[in-house]
Amino acid sequence: MAATATVTINATIASFGGKLLKVAHNAKTTGCEMKFNLYLPPQSGSAKVPLLIWLSGLTCTAENASEKAFFQHGASKRGIAVLYPDTSPRGIGIKGEDDAYDFGSGAGFYVDATADPWATNYRMYSYITEELPQTVFENFATQIDAARVSISGHSMGGHGALSLYLKNPGKYKSVSAFAPIANPLKAPWGEKAFKGYFGEADWQTKGAEHDSTELLKKWKGGPLDILIDVVSFVDFDFYFAFPLGPEHTDFSTPPPVQGTGDNFYKQGQLLPENLLAAAKEAGQEKGVRVRFQPDYDHSYYTMATFADDHIEHAAKYLFLSGTL
Query: Mind listing the pLDDT tens digit of every residue in the chain (324 residues)?
Result: 456 789 999 999 999 999 999 999 999 999 999 999 999 999 999 999 999 999 999 999 999 999 999 999 999 999 999 999 999 999 999 999 999 999 999 999 999 999 999 999 999 999 999 999 999 999 999 999 999 999 999 999 999 999 999 999 999 999 999 999 999 999 999 999 999 999 999 999 999 999 999 999 999 989 999 999 987 544 433 333 333 344 333 444 444 443 345 577 677 788 899 999 999 999 999 999 998 877 777 778 888 999 999 999 999 999 985 433
| Sequence-distant (≥ 6) Cβ neighbours of residue 114 within 8 angstroms | 197, 198, 199, 202, 206
Q: What are phi and psi of 167, to 5 degrees?
A: -80, -20
Instruction: Determine the Cα–Cα distance for residues 225 and 45; give it in Å rounded to an integer.
Output: 31
Q: Which of 86, 229, 262, 313 is labelled catalytic?
A: 262
At residue 232, the pLDDT reads 59
CATH architecture of 7-318: 3-Layer(aba) Sandwich (3.40)
The pLDDT, as a whole number, for residue 164 is 99
The SS3 assignment for 188 reads: helix
What is the DSSP track for 259-284?
S-S-HHHHTTSS-HHHHHHHHHHTT-
- Domain positions in the chain are 7-318
The answer to whether 202 is a known catalytic residue is no
Which of the residues 154, 159, 298, 313 is marked catalytic? 298
As a whole number of Å, the CA-based R_g of the chain is 19
Q: Would you call 298 a catalytic residue per the annotation?
A: yes
Q: Which of 44, 66, 155, 176 is catalytic?
A: 155
CB 176 within 8 A of CB 227: yes
